[in-house]
Amino acid sequence: MKNNDNASARSRGILDNRLFWAILSLFAALVMWLYYTSNYGSTQTRTFYGVEVTFTGQDAMRDTLNMVVSEQDTTRVNVTLSGTRRELSKLTADDMKAVVNLSNVTMAGNRAMTYSISYPAGVNQANIRETSRSPSTVGLQISKLSTKPMVVSGLFEGTTAEGYMVDASEMTFDPASVTFTGPEEELDQIDKLQVVVARDEVNAAFTAVGNYVMLDAEGNILEFDDVQADVDTVSVNVPVSMVKEVALGVDLVPGGGATASNVITTIEPAAITVAGDAATLDGLNIISLATVQLANTLSFEPTVYNIVLPNGVECLSGETTASVDMEFTGLETGLFTVTNLRYTNVPEGYRASVMDANKIVTIRAPKDVLPLISANNIRIVADLTDVTATSRVATTVYVDGFESAGAVGSYPLYIRLEEIP
């Protein structure tokens, strides 16, 4: 009981002590002064770097005047503000915006535009003062909107299987062109629209969907924020051709005692490299330059022929003509006066007679055979089927007993036809 009384007495002594209360009051005043001076007292200055530039009225300018901002000389500005520590502590450069008002723009061209600083909610702008800004204006290029259609082109950057090729110039596109809308100055820079297709070991035609790129006249890729396109992707049909070396030749029709084995043929070039559809080239092993009837040919002259390719086939090696030189080998010719002139198949109701007395015939045969032939072995026969009037009639020359011999040239007979009374 006595201890409790002593404690109460000490407490009353502290509370009645004037020095204690004076110290407590002084501490409270100091705290309040520090708080006030920190938040509401003397002003501070602070620079905010990299405040983003934004626009108002941009959509209205586009919709009503058909104009857009195509270029700006800066996208961020620096602003120096003066204010209380409390207000400045609420701000960062990311919270503020440098706002350019485009509502007063009436024509295209270069303009230096002022801007205003937009502060975030909760900031008392009355306690903030702007002391400087850098730059003080934003340079803008205001451009008229325009449209520009561009034809799509292609580039193949893959690989093909052996014996195949891709010709980018033969690619087809859907759509074949893309229409761009944007500032005239930017659209004028677009020189080419290109789709790049990449695929490895290609051996058949295929279709791919790809993004296109805009290129300038030097082949540099262009990227514009203000340019819009009516489509973003293009479907590409990529044709794949077979590549093949094909020989050149001449078709020799046997006759007059000669066959292809009796002709030495030299062709320059001997072969060409072609490309085309695989189905066409699979069965193409030789390209014929001409057809020569040996029965009507005694000798050859060097001749240049045009190289005629099948539809859809292209000559990659570039030749358009070929020179052909031919000569007979192992054969000789001789002249024979033939009197054995005949006819067959006289039309009913007619009688016929040969007006020619003889024919001088050129016979060609192997060197060891020709000396064995005489005029008695040769007969000339006219077929009168469907002949109903006196006329010259085509004939066939027979060299009886010598299959390797034949007549060179044609020997028509003059046949008289008379109706039988």
pLDDT at 33: 52
The answer to whether residues 313 and 275 belong to one domain is yes
Q: What is the pTM of this model?
A: 0.56
What's the mean pLDDT when you consider all of the chain?
89
pLDDT at 4: 52
Do the beta carbons of residue 195 and residue 154 sit within 8 Å? Answer: yes
The answer to whether residues 223 and 261 belong to one domain is no
Band (2; pLDDT cuts 50, 70, 90): very low
Boundary residue ending a domain (136, 155, 180): 136
Query: What are the tens digits of pLDDT across the range 49-69?
Result: 999 999 999 889 988 888 888
294 in a domain, yes or no?
yes
What mean pLDDT comes out for the span 405-419? 95
How many domains is the chain built from?
Answer: 5
Give the residue numbers spanning the domain of 202.
Answer: 147-238
142 in a domain, yes or no?
no
141 in a domain, yes or no?
no
377 in a domain, yes or no?
yes
Do the beta carbons of residue 252 and residue 259 sit within 8 Å? Answer: yes
Q: Which residues contact 303 (CB under 8 A, 6 or more apart)?
A: 290, 323, 324
The answer to whether residues 318 and 337 belong to one domain is no
The answer to whether residues 407 and 370 belong to one domain is yes
172 pLDDT higher than 60: yes
> Which of 153, 152, 218, 148 is closest to 188 using CA atoms?
148
The answer to whether residues 157 and 191 belong to one domain is yes
What mean pLDDT comes out for the span 185-201? 92
Band (185; pLDDT cuts 50, 70, 90): confident
% of the chain exceeding 70 in pLDDT: 91
Q: Which residues contact 241 (CB under 8 A, 6 or more apart)?
A: 164, 165, 166, 167, 275, 276, 277, 278, 314
The answer to whether residues 87 and 132 belong to one domain is yes
Query: What are the tens digits of pLDDT across the range 9-29?
Result: 555 555 556 676 667 777 766
CATH code of residue 233: 2.170.120.40
Integer Cα distance of 144 and 64 in angstroms: 11
The answer to whether residues 338 and 320 belong to one domain is no
